[in-house]
Amino acid sequence: MTDQQTTDVAEPEEETSNLPPKVPRLPPGEWMKKNLFSSVGNSILTVVFVLVILAITRGLLGFAFSPERRWDATATNMRLLFAGAYPQNQFVRMWVSLGIVVALGGLSTGVWRAGGRMYLTSLLLKGYGVGGAVVLVGILAPFSGSARLSYFLVGGLLIAASFAVQSATDEDTTVGTLAVGLVGVSIAVGSFWVIPYGHHAFIDGAQVVSDGTVAATTKGPLTVMVILAVLTYFLGREIADRVDAGWPRKVLSLSWLASPVVIVFFVLRDPDFDYGHIATTEVPIFLAYAVGGGLLLFALASPRIGEVGRIIAAVTLIAAAATFLTPMLQVIRILALMLAVFALAAPTFSGNRAARLRYVTVWAGVVLGLLWLITAINSPATVESNSSFFTGGLALTLIVASFTMILSFPLGVILALARTSNMPLFRVMSTTYIEFVRGVPFITILIFFSVLFPLFLPENMEVTEIAAVTIGFTLFSAAYMAENVRGGLQSIRRGQYEAAEALGMTTAQKTVFIILPQALRVSIPPLVGQTIGTYKETSLLAIIGLFDLLFVARSLIPNQTSFIGSVREQLLFASVIYWMGAYAMSRASQNLERKLGVGER
Amino acid sequence: MRKQFLVRLLAVLLGFTLIASACGDDDGGDAGDDTSGDDGGSDDGGDDGDDGGDDGDDGDDGDSEDTVDVTQGGSLLDTILDRGNLVCGVGGNAVAFSETQADGSITGFDADYCRAVAAAILGDATALEFVPLTASERFTALASGDVDVLFRNTTWTQSRDTTLGGDFGPTTYYDGQQLMGRVADGFSAASSVSDVDGAVVCTNAGTTTEKNIAEAATLEGANFGGITLQTFEDFNQVTDAFIAGTCDIITTDGSGLVGRRAVNDMFDDWAIFPATPISKEPLGPMYRQNDSVFADVVDWTVYASIILDELGITSANAQAFVDGYEAGVSDPQVGRLLGIDEGELQSSMGLPADAFFQMVLQVGNYDEIFTNNLVPVGLERAGSANAGWQAGGQIYAPPAR
């Protein structure tokens, strides 16, 4: 997700030839001679390490495919692993959420014209590799004769198909990477319809196992997702062809940013709005802020207002801070603070009538969005599950991870700017904060936010444990993000600052338009590393007893009467899930780096 | 110019902090379990001693809140009737006591007693919200009112009863710490702690099981050479180490050991001893103190389940008992408990007259709850402390009259 967001920071390059330079290939025999058996020492090393790898693989396969393994525990508990106790009759909401992400992904791929071409030969090489691996699994794993044979068959077919394609096409044939991906996903999803993986479910208190293909409630939605991805991709291309590419990209970037909020608070939670209350409270508040605040901002954004504007903005800030002295609705205070922020930023956006109106429109949109969000959060959830948070498992992991990423990035940038600022107070504050957070073990921070944070809140304010630990995650991750961004800031040459100043830019303009874009581009690899780290660190939620993926795998499933003690299978499965997410992010960031030329310029 | 920028920065920072904190006011606390690894179905009495002090403080806070609550709104019973559901604190990951099933539902012995209380109060065993709690957060959750009642295989101890701002209801399951060794190593059901001289004993770390076995070894006196104690994070690991041969003996609450032996199908190969456990672990409900009305409801739900078992009234035949009831002919105790006799006492408790009829119909009596949940993991009622008092056990209820 983050990768998608950062994509728009990049200057999107139009579809130039994305083909990697062609590497001349040696025939297999010579390649082995050159790379594996070039000297006696190398030959010995090759043999020894191949044997070690085979032994490890054999051990791992022996573990995974041993008849003692209770994989039916994993199969039966798929829903618990992915969505916790999310109610079955509302499960379509989970699919709709996935659909939103898939549709955004498809549209983005189309609009950004992502995906290049690759040589067919390199794909076929992968075909040989996968086929060989399947055969190897067949040899090494402790299978019965017929199962072994089917592995040989599948592996052999893959190799034969690769060979047939290779001899039928010429060397320079290229294929689209997206098409290859689509075929891969289609085969995987299609296999759900054809291959009898068996279907394990827990229905009305009884474990039901059938030998057929997986349930239609799984394969159906998955198929819809594939179709949705294809359709939205072509839709995205159409849009990009017909409309100036600028604003679809903006809309998509904003949609990505808003998607976790929409998914969590509107799709999954389905807030039960009290429309009477909204009409009497939220609507007047909206009108007051949108109209009153809008007029104020319109005036403040005038280029001729000068010092008076700054004084008014400062007064707004003081007034906003003063709202905390008297009891009132939280939302009024938050909006007052937002208004103060907009008032202070107004000079930067000053300009002609149209520019000022645009600024006021953005303000009204922000008020509407914030009010909508806060009302939704405070409305009771319609979806009730058997525990106080409505979901768990992988869904909870992803919710905490994505909110942390979205919130900690801006906070990290602010901290980095404060740390490199010339004003001692901010520098000291930011440095103290960063060094403090980095000097404390993360689990300490997590336990603090889970146990102690609620005690620090005002009396009538309640925060769920999930929200509290997400704040903890955000504050922790932000400190590390800040250091990554600071590294980027320091790599910007002095001349860039001077050139910007020579153009008469304000500090804000200089930072936003000149320094940050360059600094963030340099910071991409460590920022992605941090993001992946955050994603994996969500497993610490299990330590404080929240029902994330690891907790379900480690504590819930092995303690079910039918699957008591089946902890190893679940841990292996959970690690595969974590790995797939982390690997996908890592690959996406590599692509992004290549596109932005990080490390080349 | 720079100052202006920094002011803005401050404002943005403030704004973000606020938004971040505002994203909070959501649906109440969340749930989970502890790290010290609750093993299969037994209370790691563990946190008792260690957490006693901390929880005590929290308990006191909650207690004062609770007092305010009581003076304002009467009993918790009224609150529950208004709200229309019972909030029940459970473990969520204790084999046979409260398991989270694949569909997200929570089942087990403790979970069934939550259902029983909900059925008695509201006439609907599903008018219930489970809150899975870790061993360390359960007492805070009870004291702060996040849960109405705790059925979380909690051992009744003096320190918990007196310092946590809560009270214990009748014991629903008598557990006790035992040891398990291999028959091949010469252990049998008749073995005692003195036989484990020099053995490697494994259990989960940081629990009172660890303390109990160390104390038991000390009590054996001078001739006892001592044991080597090895601890693991979680009882699944303890069992694995026992199977692998790293441990000669493993120890935890008897219910946990029996469950492991049953699952691994080692009835003849693994022996559980001593017959008299080395610790007492009475497990039962817990509720906030100073609320007799609600306490009576929970207590008598448990008692009713026991009495109905004694009378042989089950979920299957309860309706027949009601239909076939004739005043002056049938057992008046049955009439009172099922709410069909004039002299029924449920109404005066603030419950519907048919409260316990609904309970037994929708959930079952003590024996049914035991059989449905604990027998599948190999626990037997007959001959254990959990047999009825007429059968020599300790499950006993005051008379319903």
Q: Are residues A476 and A524 in the same domain?
A: yes
Q: Is A446 helix (H, G, I), strand (E, B) or coil?
A: helix
Cβ under 8 Å to B: A residues 436-455: 451
Q: What percentage of chain B reaches a pLDDT higher than 70?
A: 81
Q: Counting Cβ atoms within 10 Å, is residue B189 exposed (0-12), middle (13-18) or buried (19+)?
A: exposed
More confident residue, B258 or A463: B258
Chain B residue closest to A407 (CA)?
B20
Point out the domain boundary residue: A379, A401, A426.
A379
Average pLDDT value for residue range A86-96: 88
Kindly state the helix (H) or strand (E) to which residue A175 belongs, with its residue range. Answer: strand A174-176
Question: DSSP class of residue A90?
Answer: G
Please determine, for residue B63, whether its predicted confidence score (pLDDT) is greater than 70.
Answer: no
A333 in contact with chain B, both atoms CB, cutoff 8 A: yes
Number of domains in chain A: 4
Tell me the chain B residues in contact with residue A86 when contact means C-beta distances shorter than 8 Å: 104
Point out the domain boundary residue: A214, A239, A261.
A261
**Can you tell me the distance from the alpha carbon of A88 to that of A93, in angstroms, rounded to the nearest whole number?**
10
Q: What percentage of chain A reaches a pLDDT higher than 70?
A: 94
Q: Counting Cβ atoms within 10 Å, is residue A88 exposed (0-12), middle (13-18) or buried (19+)?
A: middle
Q: Are residues B34 and B136 in contact, defined by beta-carbon separation less than 8 angstroms?
A: yes
Mutate which of A257, A373, A501, A559 to disrupt the B interface (most B C-beta within 10 Å)?
A: A559
Average pLDDT value for residue range A528-539: 91
Q: Which amino acid is residue A224, in one-letter code? A: V
**Can you tell me the distance from the alpha carbon of B129 to that of B88, in angstroms, rounded to the nearest whole number?**
6
Q: Are residues A321 and A416 in the same domain?
A: no
**Can you tell me the distance from the alpha carbon of B281 to that of B109, in angstroms, rounded to the nearest whole number?**
16
How many helices and strands (H and E) does chain A possess? 26, 4
In this prediction, residue A69 carries a pLDDT of 85
In a domain, A486, yes or no: yes
In this prediction, residue B6 carries a pLDDT of 52
In this prediction, residue B7 carries a pLDDT of 55
Please determine, for residue B71, whether its predicted confidence score (pLDDT) is greater than 60.
Answer: no
Residue B136: other Cβ atoms inside 10 A: 20
In a domain, A245, yes or no: yes
Among the residue ranges A353-357, B224-228, B302-306, B313-317, the one predicted with the least confidence is B224-228
Average pLDDT value for residue range B38-63: 36
In a domain, A539, yes or no: yes
Average pLDDT value for residue range A188-212: 84
Residue numbers of the domain that contains A322: 273-379
Kindly state the helix (H) or strand (E) to which residue A295 belongs, with its residue range. Answer: helix A294-300
Among the residue ranges A436-440, B85-89, B267-271, B327-331, the one predicted with the least confidence is B327-331
Chain A nearest C-alpha distance from B134 (Å): 6
A464 to B377: CB separation less than 8 angstroms, yes or no: no
Q: Are residues A121 and A77 in the same domain?
A: no
Chain A residue closest to B7 (CA)?
A344
Q: Are residues A80 and A94 in the same domain?
A: no
Kindly state the helix (H) or strand (E) to which residue A206 belongs, with its residue range. Answer: strand A206-210
A423 in contact with chain B, both atoms CB, cutoff 8 A: yes
Question: DSSP class of residue A513?
Answer: I
Q: Which amino acid is residue B186, in one-letter code? A: G
* Nearest-by-Cβ selection for B100 from A411, A466, A556: A556
**Can you tell me the distance from the alpha carbon of A52 to that of B197, in angstroms, rounded to the nearest whole number?**
42
User: pLDDT digits over A39-54, tens only?
Assistant: 899 999 999 999 999 9
Q: Counting Cβ atoms within 10 Å, is residue B222 exposed (0-12), middle (13-18) or buried (19+)?
A: exposed
Please determine, for residue A554, whether its predicted confidence score (pLDDT) is greater than 50.
Answer: yes
In three-state form (DSSP H/G/I as H, E/B as E, the rest C), the secondary structure along chain B is: CHHHHHHHHHHHHHHHHHHHHHCCCCCCCCCCCCCCCCCCCCCCCCHHHHHHHHHHHHHHHHHHHHHHHHHHHCCHHHHHHHHCCEEEEECCEECCCEEECCCCCEECHHHHHHHHHHHHHHCCCCCEEEEECCCCCHHHHHHCCCCCEEEEEEECCHHHHHHCCEEECCCCEEECEEEEEEHHHCCCCCCCHHHHCCCEEEEECCCHHHHHHHHHHHHCCCCCCCCEEEEECCHHHHHHHHHHCCCCEEEEEHHHHHHHHHHCCCCCCEEEECCCCCCCEEEEEEEECCCHHHHHHHHHHHHHHHHHHHCCCCCCCHHHHHHCCCCCCCCHHHHHHHCCCCCCCCHHHCCCCCHHHHHHHHCCCHHHHHHHHCHHHCCCCCCCCCCEHHHCCCECCCCCC
Q: Are residues A17 and A142 in the same domain?
A: yes
Average pLDDT value for residue range A426-443: 93
Point out the domain boundary residue: A261, A284, A314.
A261
**Can you tell me the distance from the alpha carbon of A327 to that of A460, in angstroms, rounded to the nearest whole number?**
11
Residues 6+ apart with CB under 8 A from A329: A281, A285
B22 to A555: CB separation less than 8 angstroms, yes or no: no
Residue A300 — pLDDT band, cuts 50, 70, 90? confident
Please determine, for residue A431, whether its predicted confidence score (pLDDT) is greater than 90.
Answer: yes
User: pLDDT digits over A365-410, tens only?
Assistant: 989 988 888 888 878 777 776 666 778 899 999 999 999 999 999 9
**Can you tell me the distance from the alpha carbon of A162 to that of A180, in angstroms, rounded to the nearest whole number?**
14
Average pLDDT value for residue range B100-121: 92
Please determine, for residue B312, whether its predicted confidence score (pLDDT) is greater than 60.
Answer: yes
User: pLDDT digits over B344-357, tens only?
Assistant: 899 999 999 999 99
Q: Are residues A20 and A40 in the same domain?
A: no
Tell me the chain A residues in contact with residue B101 when contact means C-beta distances shorter than 8 Å: 80, 202, 205, 560
In a domain, A266, yes or no: no
Q: Are residues A326 and A341 in the same domain?
A: yes
Among the residue ranges A351-360, A405-414, B300-309, the one predicted with the least confidence is A351-360
Q: Are residues A511 and A597 in the same domain?
A: yes
Residue A313 — pLDDT band, cuts 50, 70, 90? confident
CATH number where A542 lies = 1.10.3720.10
Please list the alpha-helical segments (H only) found in A385-423: 393-419
Chain A residue closest to B134 (CA)?
A545
In this prediction, residue B115 carries a pLDDT of 95
Q: Are residues A243 and A284 in the same domain?
A: no
Q: Are residues A220 and A95 in the same domain?
A: yes
Q: Which amino acid is residue B41, in one-letter code? A: G
Tokens at residue A551, please?
């907790």
* Nearest-by-Cβ selection for A341 from B11, B31, B33: B11
User: pLDDT digits over A221-248, tens only?
Assistant: 999 999 999 999 999 989 888 887 678 8
**Can you tell me the distance from the alpha carbon of B139 to that of B152, in angstroms, rounded to the nearest whole number?**
10
Kindly state the helix (H) or strand (E) to which residue A185 belongs, with its residue range. Answer: helix A177-194
B321-to-B59, B306, B360 alpha-carbon distances in Å: 44, 17, 12
In this prediction, residue A65 carries a pLDDT of 86
A84 in contact with chain B, both atoms CB, cutoff 8 A: yes
Beta bridge pairs of residue B106: B100
In this prediction, residue B23 carries a pLDDT of 43
Q: Which domains does chain B have, with CATH numbers?
A: 47-175 (3.40.190.10), 177-273 (3.40.190.10), 290-391 (no CATH)
A407 to B33: CB separation less than 8 angstroms, yes or no: no
| Nearest residue to A281 via CA among A323, A340, A331 | A331
Chain A nearest C-alpha distance from B333 (Å): 34
Q: Are residues B370 and B381 in contact, defined by beta-carbon separation less than 8 angstroms?
A: yes
Q: Are residues B360 and B117 in contact, defined by beta-carbon separation less than 8 angstroms?
A: no
Residue B4 — pLDDT band, cuts 50, 70, 90? low
Q: Are residues A141 and A162 in the same domain?
A: yes
B103 to A88: CB separation less than 8 angstroms, yes or no: yes
| Nearest residue to A78 via CA among A578, A549, A562, A554 | A549
Q: Are residues A209 and A283 in the same domain?
A: no
Average pLDDT value for residue range A82-102: 89
Q: Is A139 helix (H, G, I), strand (E, B) or coil?
A: helix
Question: DSSP class of residue A293?
Answer: I
